[in-house]
Structure 1
Amino acid sequence: MNRIDLDGQHAVVTGGAQGLGFAMARRFVASGATVSLWDLDEARLETAKKELGNAATTEIVDVADWTSVDAARARTEDLAGKISILVNSAGIAGPAAPLDVYDIETWKKVIDVNVNGTFYVNRAVVPGMKERNYGRIVNIASVAGKEGNPNASAYSASKAAVIGLTKSLGKELAQYDIAVNCISPATAQTRILEQLTPEHIEYMRSRIPRGRLLEVDEAAAMVAWLVSKENSFTTASTFDLSGGRTTY
């Protein structure tokens, strides 16, 4: 493993108790950073904290609730210091279903967590980064946001919105030393698969030229560089992790 220099940096990782978020937090700690894990799952937060040790603090946060997010930001800065890195990994897939029968309340929940949650967390953290003229932000999108997955209209729409938000915010902050990018992974081997049918998972795997699902440590390796000081020019961009599925 290459050690990216993140010494002296403090990262907030939403959805950080598991899956992609935890893999990224673990990689950041190995690279010298401290991390705050934001998640709703208290039990998994405790387990993650034990593995990461004193380099990690935890917050129980509902990213779809602005009050919860802003309070977590304040507590994090009081306990752990200024936030220089942000990764928005919290998200839900929703069920596989055609749009014409998709449950209305479930649609709203997917949009609330994936889109509004990403907005709220950026909204809370960006002012401090602007004040200090430094920050690195990575929002987790999806190949579904580029191509659209059938029977996944809510998820696909939400991740397309994350890509658009990232490009807009990156341009807004381009005059600062703040890089805002996103990654668009193919299906990864995480708990989010529990929300999907085996047939839907196999459909997505079959579309990947690599012939397998993404490993979480592969995503963490890319993001570790994106949140480093070395990434001093690229912003408002989407980095592909689709195993060859998309070429743009």
Structure 2
Amino acid sequence: MNNLENKVVFITGASSGIGKATAQMLLDGGAKVFDFSRTNKLGEEVSSPNLKSFRGDVSVEADVIAGFAACVEAFGTVDILLNNAGLGLTSPDLSTTDLETFEKMMDINVKGVFLCNREAFKIMKPKQAGHILTVISMAGQRTNPNAPLYCASKFGARGLNSGLADQALKLGIKVTDINPGPTDSNYWGDRQVPREKFLKVEDVARVIVFVINQPEYVLIREINFDNMKFLA
């Protein structure tokens, strides 16, 4: 089954990691991909008439509005939104965590999802069709003492999407949370973590494509998955 052919997918943060791997799989499946990111590295590395790039920040309202307008101009519509851009900063001692750290994560992980959801919803409502997916992570379901602010932002995005899902259902629009466990990506930087027990970005990308590729009548509200080695 291939429901990807000619679907227009707006992806945030597609320059690396999960976003990049997913964009490549979608392009391979015949989808049209609009890369909205701060660097546009994907457009520099991949040459395809089905790929367009736009440089912007998901936390800046004017950038998001302009990005969706550019996608519609390039491809005619937005069928699928994949909120993938995210920021993860540790806060192991809340008593010494500054307000800037909190605001940065909320701006990207919650405000950015809200802005993109809103613009996608505007386009999808008249069609009464579409799919909004957000890479949230299991941090939106289980807390971590080293990253309470990151978890708070992910819980917030999950709550936002849950309410949107209730609004969207009657319009024939799907909303799905993608919740991977720890994934071996640039997110971790030089932190000493057991990457051999983590999911690969390709694992997450395959799950995202699987969800997108379901028949129009199949709704997956959320999907949770981990590397078994991490849980053992």
Change (3 A) 1:101 1:12: same
RMSD: 1.8
Alignment gaps of 5+ in structure 1: 206-210
What TM-score does the superposition give when structure 1 sets the normalisation length?
0.87
Within 5 Å, give how 1:143-154 maps onto structure 2: 143-154=138-149
Are the counterparts in 2 of residues 20 and 216 from structure 1 also a CA contact under 8 Å? yes
Whichever residue aligns with residue 21 of structure 2, its letter is A
Q: For 1:170 and 1:131, locate their aligned partners in 2 and report how far apart those are by CA, in whole Å.
A: 16
Within 5 Å, give how 1:141-180 maps onto structure 2: 141-180=136-175
- Give secondary structure in 1 for the equivalent of 2:90: coil
What TM-score does the superposition give when structure 2 sets the normalisation length?
0.92
- Give secondary structure in 1 for the equivalent of 2:34: strand
Q: For 2:42 and 2:64, locate their aligned partners in 1 and report how far apart those are by CA, in whole Å.
A: 16
Match of 1:53? 48
* 1:162-188 per-position Cα deviation (integer Å, ceiling 9, x unaligned): 211121111111112211011111111
Deviation at 1:92, TM superposition (A): 0.7
Alignment gaps of 5+ in structure 2: none
Are the counterparts in 2 of residues 137 and 227 from structure 1 also a CA contact under 8 Å? no
Match of 1:208? none
Match of 1:215? 200
| 2:117 paired with 1:117 | no
Q: How many residues align?
A: 230
Whichever residue aligns with residue 213 of structure 1, its letter is F
Q: For 1:96 and 1:88, locate their aligned partners in 2 and report how far apart those are by CA, in whole Å.
A: 24
Deviation at 1:96, TM superposition (A): 4.4
Q: For 1:63 and 1:28, locate their aligned partners in 2 and report how far apart those are by CA, in whole Å.
A: 21
Q: For 1:131 and 1:226, locate their aligned partners in 2 and report how far apart those are by CA, in whole Å.
A: 23
Q: For 1:98 and 1:145, locate their aligned partners in 2 and report how far apart those are by CA, in whole Å.
A: 19
Are the counterparts in 2 of residues 16 and 89 from structure 1 also a CA contact under 8 Å? yes
Q: For 1:129 and 1:46, locate their aligned partners in 2 and report how far apart those are by CA, in whole Å.
A: 26
Using the aligned pairs only, state the percent identity: 26
Match of 1:30? 28
